[in-house]
Structure 1
């Protein structure tokens, strides 16, 4: 299997974003309440539900594209700039949005955690480009 590295990184991203999206759907109210407090002193204070919906949509798109990319890598090899590539790009954009929010909220530990996810997302872009 020559595509093991991209498949593993895409699996990491798919699990991360699909689980996160599922959690947002399952506990929408709890997420909105917590994030309203988290962003109380930022420009996002009155935008929390809309921002959360935007992140949710991005996460689901990223997760579905990453799963689709894994399937595509199994079915037709080699694939360049396939669905996994676009999944990795959307993953990076989603993580940048999350990083921006954490920095606005001055949650530097949270921002640091997002960077840990950003590294494999960029690696996936590199491996699939």
Structure 2
């Protein structure tokens, strides 16, 4: 039986992270420049390219796992502990990394935005657990 709600949230996470990863790859230099200023007064000031690389990998792998989970659910009817479950967990971890960065930079509006993404990500972990 196909569960539509988890598939919709997995699609939301996949779109979010794959598009964000694509943007980071396409405009690496611009992202590094902007983030260098954003994190200028933090412990990440000299680590921006490295930190951005970590976030890029987390986002792309999260997106791929979410897409794979959707396909797995549609083809194999796997609902519990499938690839989507692990994609949702990695999505939550990725969002926690992003939240940490926003809080570190004292960008509280940005941190609040991350929470909006975190809620459905946790919800889909709950649904697929």
Q: How far is 1:78 from its partner?
A: 3.9
Name stretches of at least 5 consecutive residues in structure 1 with no aligned partner: none
- 1:110 corresponding residue in structure 2: 110
- 1:9 corresponding residue in structure 2: 9
In the superposition, the TM-score normalised over structure 2's length comes to 0.98
Give the 5 Å matches for 1:1-129.
2-129=2-129
**Once the two structures are superposed, what CA deviation does each residue of 1:71-121 show, in whole Å capped at 9, x if it has no partner?**
011011242100000000000000000000000000000000000000010
> What CA RMSD, in Å, does the superposition of the two structures yield over aligned residues?
0.8
In the superposition, the TM-score normalised over structure 1's length comes to 0.98
Work out the CA distance in 2 between the residues paired with 1:78 and 1:95.
25
**Once the two structures are superposed, what CA deviation does each residue of 1:23-67 show, in whole Å capped at 9, x if it has no partner?**
000000000000000000000000000000000000000000000
Point out 4+ residue stretches in structure 1 off by more than 3 angstroms: none
Name stretches of at least 5 consecutive residues in structure 2 with no aligned partner: none
Q: How far is 1:3 from its partner?
A: 1.0
